[in-house]
Structure 1
Amino acid sequence: MTSRSSRDAPKNADVSWGAFNPAAYIDHNYRNLHAEDAEILRIVGDHFADHFREHSHGPVSGIDVGAGPNLYPALAMLPWCQKITLLDHSPANVSHLESQLASYDPTWDQFWEALCEHEAYGSLDLDPRERLRRTAVVQQGDLFDLGRHAGRWTMGTMFFVAESMTSRHAEFEAGVERFMSALAPGAPFAAAFMAHSHGYFVGGNSFPACAVGESEVWASLEGFARDFKIVRLSSSAQIREGYSGIILACGWRQ
C-alpha cells in the first residue's frame, strides 16, 4: 500500500520549472569556485582523461542531462566531443544556455582553469569558448523522454538532477535509468547527487528533492553501469542548507 506521505510528495510534473531563476542559481552556487566543485572537476577530469587515453574512439557525442545554467559538466567533456547536447526542461534555463554559447560569461573561466590542472586539459591548444560555441547545442526536453534515444550518446553527465527534480524515489530511479539508457555501451559517464536533500530555494522559489544516500545511488546505477565508483566528497562545507554532502558516481555504461 502506498503511504499518504508518498502519495502527497511533489512529483516532477507538479513543479513550475518556468519559475527557475538561472541568474540567482549561478550567483549562489557558481559565482565562485567552491571546494566541492573543484573536487568534482578533479575526479571527473581524471575519469574522462583516463578513458580516452586508454580507449580508441571515433566521433564522440556527449550529453549533459538537466544542464541547468551550469556549464562545467560540458567543459569537462569538451576536449573529446564533436557535439555536446545541453538538455534542460526549464525554458528559462534553455534561454540562458543559448545566451552563453556565443561567448560564455567569465564566471566559467575559473572552472576551466581548474580542469586545466590536469595535463589532458592543460596541454590542449584550444579556446574553450570557441570550442563550446562550435560543439554545443541546447535542446529543451524532458529527462523522462530520453527512453526514445537509447544508446545515442557516447559519453554523458548528469549533475544534481535526478534527486533534485522530484520528491518521489520512483521518479529518481526512473531519471537515473533514462540517463543511463541514453548512453551507448561502454560510454564513460559522471553523475553527481545532493545527499539527503530536503529541497532547495532558487530566487525565492522552492523546488523539491528526493533524499538519497550512497546506497540509493548505487542501487539506481548497478543495473546499467559497470566498473563504477561512488565517492562521498571529502569537502564538507555546504553552500546551502538542507543536504548532508555530495555523492559523485563515475563509471561506464554496461
Structure 2
Amino acid sequence: MNADVPWDRFDSRAYFEHNYRSVSDADAEIVSMIRDHFADHFSRNPDGPAQGIDVGAGANLYPALAMLPWCDTITLLDRSRNNYRFLARQRTAYDPSWDQFWEILGRDPAYAAIGHDRRKRFRRVVRVEQYDLFHLPHRPERWSLGTMFFVAESLSTSYARFQHGVECFLRALTPGAPFAAAFMEHSQGYEVGGQRFPACDISESQVYECMAGLSGKLETCRVGRPNEVRTGYTGMIVACGHRDMGIS
C-alpha cells in the first residue's frame, strides 16, 4: 500500500536523468496533446488567470510548463521529501533540459508569447508543497486547472487505491476545470536508483471508467511502445478532459 512505500528514498535525480534528460517520442506526443488541449480550452474561455495544480509532480516539470501561460499560481504537490527538494531547486533555476520540452510547447502562439520570460514567470507563479494526494479532499481550496502524470497507478498494487487517487485529483478541481493526466498501461512496478516501487496494472478502459463519473468531457488514448522508457509496461494512457460541471 501507498503508506508502506519508502517515498522519501525516491531518487529524484536518477528518475530525471533516466526519463527527462532528453525528450522521448512518447513524451513529445503527450506534450503536444496537453498543449493543444489547454490552448483550445483557454482560447474558448479567456476569463482571468487560472490556479493550477500538478499532483504528484515528482521530477517532471513538463506538466507545470504546460500550464504556465494560463496561471497566476501553480502548486507542485508531492509526498516525497526528495521530490520536494528537487522541485524546490528546479523552481529557482530549472535544468536546461526542460527547454527541449518548451520547444514543443512553443509551437502554439500562447506559449511562444512568454518564451523569453518563461523562467522568470516560472519562479514567480510556482510554489512547491510536500503533501499527500489522498488528503486533497480535506482542503478548502480548489484549482481551476490540473495535471497528474504517472501517479495514481504508481502508488500501490491496489486498484481501489488507484481509483481513490484519481477521484481525489478530480475532486480537487473546480467544476468545468480542464485537466490532463497520464498513466502507465499494465505496469508491473518500477525501479528508481536501485529502489523498487509498486504499480497497479490498469488498462485504457479502466482509466476511462474511473474518470468518466467526475468528467463532463473526457477523451483517452494510448501512446508510446511497450518498454520504451523502462521495462514492465505496455504503453502510456493520456486522458484530457474537463471536470464535471454538476458534481461537487
TM band (smaller chain):
over 0.9
TM-score normalised over the length of structure 2: 0.95
Secondary structure of residue in 2 paired with 1:240: coil
Q: Which runs of 4+ in 1 moved over 4 A?
A: 234-237
Structure 1 equivalent of residue 120 of structure 2: 130
Cα distance change on mapping 1:228 and 1:77 into 2, 3 Å: same
How far apart are the structure 2 equivalents of 1:234 and 1:19? 28
Runs of 5+ consecutive residues of structure 1 not aligned to the other structure: 1-10
Question: Alignment length, in residue pairs?
Answer: 244
Cα distance change on mapping 1:226 and 1:233 into 2, 3 Å: same
Structure-to-structure mapping, 1:90-129, within 5 angstroms? 90-124=80-114, 126-129=116-119
Aligned sequence identity (%): 53
Assess if the C-alpha contact under 8 Å between 1:103 and 1:130 holds in 2: no
Structure 1 equivalent of residue 19 of structure 2: 29
Which amino acid letter does the alignment assign opposite residue 86 of structure 2?
Answer: H
How far apart are the structure 2 equivalents of 1:14 and 1:232? 30
Secondary structure of residue in 2 paired with 1:163: helix
Q: What is the CA distance between 1:150 and its match in structure 2?
A: 6.1
Structure 1 equivalent of residue 129 of structure 2: 139
TM-score normalised over the length of structure 1: 0.93
How far apart are the structure 2 equivalents of 1:251 and 1:126? 29
Which amino acid letter does the alignment assign opposite residue 175 of structure 2?
Answer: P
Assess if the C-alpha contact under 8 Å between 1:150 and 1:184 holds in 2: no
Assess if the C-alpha contact under 8 Å between 2:145 and 2:177 holds in 1: yes
Structure-to-structure mapping, 1:234-245, within 5 angstroms? 238-245=228-235
2:40 pairs with 1:50: yes
Which amino acid letter does the alignment assign opposite residue 156 of structure 1?
Answer: G
Q: What is the CA distance between 1:57 and its match in structure 2?
A: 1.7
Structure-to-structure mapping, 1:133-212, within 5 angstroms? 133-149=123-139, 152-212=142-202
Structure 2 equivalent of residue 69 of structure 1: 59
Structure 2 equivalent of residue 4 of structure 1: none
Secondary structure of residue in 2 paired with 1:69: coil
